[in-house]
Amino acid sequence: MPKVFLLGIDGATWKVLDRFMAEGLMPNLDEITRRGTRGVLNSTIPYLTPVAWSSMLTGVRPSKHCIFGYNVMENREGMIIGLLANRSKIKSPTVMDIFTQLGRKVVSVNMPMTYPPQPQDGTIISGLMTPSRESTFYYPRNLMAELAEQGIDYRIDINIAREVEADLEQRIELYLADGAKRLFEDLRKVTEEREKAVHYLMANREWDLFQVNFISMDRIQHYLWNHIWEDDPGSDTVRRIREHYVYLDSLIGRIYSAVKDRAILMICSDHGFGDYKGNFYPAVWLKQKGYYVERDDDLTPGRIVKRVLKSLGLSRRILRFLERSQKTVVKKLIYVGTSQVSWRKTRAYAYGTSGIRINLKGRDQYGIVEPGREYEDLRRKIAQELMDITDDAGRKVMKAVYPVEDLYGVADLPEAPDLFFDFQDEHFYTTYDAITENTVFMDGGYAWRQGDHRRDGVVALAGRGIEPGRTITADIEDLLPTIMFVEDLPMSDNFDGKIIREAFTDDFVAERKVQDKRFFERTEVESSDTDDGDEVIDRLKGLGYI
């Protein structure tokens, strides 16, 4: 029975890959795509890492797995609370759940949104949204010791100079100094050790599906997108970028050589990439428009606590501690931006990274907007005003604003905004929803950040049964149904994704069985109260995500 090796290349885009293949820097990928099939893999909307990989892991749209950003949003007790997204918040069965119930084996390495892993998963090392090396981020429990015995120093991600006593901006500046020397050294080390782990586990574990995600391209493109397009042979940064892509191509070639006789290779990315123009602060925009109103009282509990902690130099550590508290009284003190909201005057508010929620009566605890016509008119008005935003050059900033039901066919999802907004590809802005105190709602952003996500990811398949030379288009939720099709497994009755049939030869399709769809259970996953999110938050901030 065919197996599948899923090779995730976080942030990969054909814009960059085609450039480097044409220049002869990536011959292995060039050969794989010529022998197999390739195309654009449409990411989720929003096209953020936790959202997209959750759809890959479940085969469903965000409306079913209910991950819409880096935080899972809640509005209760008069507060807008953002809890870090992880596997415990995914509301649909994952590939690990499904394969376990089918008696099949998965080896999973560094896939985002797989933390916290579960003992029944088999062999798993979780990826993005993992707190730290001190957390339970792998199974079996002796796995890290086993890898260490093989001389493998496994790391979760790059460290962004965490060992340096400095603020984040200074650490990133140090990281990117001298032609980004430290960045590339760190990327190389993390990637080399991850590849060693992959080859060791391929050879020493039984698997029907092997899935791994490599993060180098995403990190390079966030920090150095503009340099990718430079042709300056004297630039150390340009030279190191090209050297790293050559190295990644050799990694792809080694993996393909190891799996081509026993598995179909499926290469994918969770999203594409493009340039970055600046930051957008929806709460500030809503406040300036009069939709979001804060209390005038300077002595709100939240402001008092924030001032006291800041004066003591303890705000970050203590705020993180308080955020983990389950006591409502404590949470009221720490969500400063929301504890001072005047809910009786607020008609709309920022709700997650890419959306706006209406303060709806009967749904929101302190809702004031009437359901029906008032709600629809307000939502339509806000959508139009978002579409009317222009930058300093007079260009429209928004590509589209989507009512939630237009995206997902479902309205009134508790974790979802009522409106999602999407920026123009050619001048893209990163959203920071928690910032409420700025005097402007758009600015030029961070000097160290050059690139950001786009929706057009990549997909390529190679191996027995793949139609050579064919160009395809697929959605990220199509990957899991396609994996199950290859392995002749019954489909879930919950899937939104479809099989990418055009990637396969007629003979291969004819060999697959026709099977009834079936129901799969979702494993209940709980995050430990001891999990420390500081490192997650630090990593996400260091990439400009939150």
Ordered DSSP codes for 56-116 = HHHSS-HHHH---SSEEEEEETTEEEEEEP-GGG--S--HHHHHHHTT--EEEEEETT-PS
What topology is assigned to 3-260+476-542 in CATH?
Answer: Alkaline Phosphatase, subunit A (3.40.720)
pLDDT at 171: 85
- Angle separating helix axes 534-542 and 315-323, nearest 10 degrees: 120
- E strand segments, 114-255: 123-126, 138-139, 209-214
pTM (2 d.p.):
0.91
Residues 6+ apart with CB under 8 A from 513: 488
Q: What angle do CA 321, 322, 327 make, to 5 degrees?
A: 130
pLDDT at 131: 83
pLDDT digits 0-9 by tens, 486-510 = 999 999 999 999 999 999 999 999 9
Token pair recorded at residue 359: 């303060």
pLDDT at 335: 39
pLDDT at 305: 53
- DSSP H helical ranges for 205-235: 216-228
pLDDT at 322: 47
- DSSP H helical ranges for 324-478: 328-334, 336-339, 373-387, 404-408
Per-residue pLDDT of the chain (546 residues), as tens digits, is: 789 999 999 999 999 999 999 999 999 999 999 999 999 999 999 999 999 999 999 999 999 999 999 988 888 777 787 888 899 999 999 999 999 999 999 999 999 999 999 999 999 999 988 887 778 899 999 999 999 999 999 998 887 766 666 777 888 888 899 999 999 999 999 999 999 999 999 999 999 999 999 999 999 999 999 999 999 988 999 999 999 999 999 999 999 999 999 999 999 999 999 999 999 999 999 999 999 999 876 555 555 555 555 555 544 444 444 444 444 333 333 334 456 789 999 999 999 888 999 999 999 989 999 999 999 999 999 999 999 999 999 999 999 999 999 999 988 788 899 999 999 999 899 998 888 888 999 999 999 999 999 999 999 999 999 999 999 999 999 999 999 999 999 999 999 999 999 999 999 999 999 889 999 999 998 765 445 566 777 777 777 776
pLDDT at 4: 98
pLDDT at 159: 79
pLDDT at 332: 36
| Residue-by-residue DSSP string for 263-320 | EEEEEE-S-EEEE--EEE-HHHHHHHHTSS-B---TT-HHHHHHHHHHHHT-HHHHHH
End-to-end CA distance of the chain: 43
pLDDT digits 0-9 by tens, 441-468 = 999 999 999 999 999 999 999 999 999 9
The three-class DSSP label of residue 182 is helix
**Rounded (to 5) percent helix, strand, coil in the chain:** 40, 20, 40
Adjacency order of strands within the sheet including 355-358: 348-350, 355-358, 419-423, 398-403
Smallest CA-to-CA distance from 112 within 172, 48, 62 is with 48
Rounded Cα distance between 27 and 458, Å, is: 17
- The residues spanned by each domain of the chain are 3-260+476-542, 278-451
CA–CA distances in Å: residue 199 to residues 27, 205, 212, 269, 353: 21, 10, 11, 21, 37
| Residue-by-residue DSSP string for 420-436 | EEEE-TTS-EEE-TT--
Rounded Cα distance between 198 and 218, Å, is: 20
Rounded Cα distance between 316 and 331, Å, is: 15
Neighbours of 444 (CB within 10 A): 11
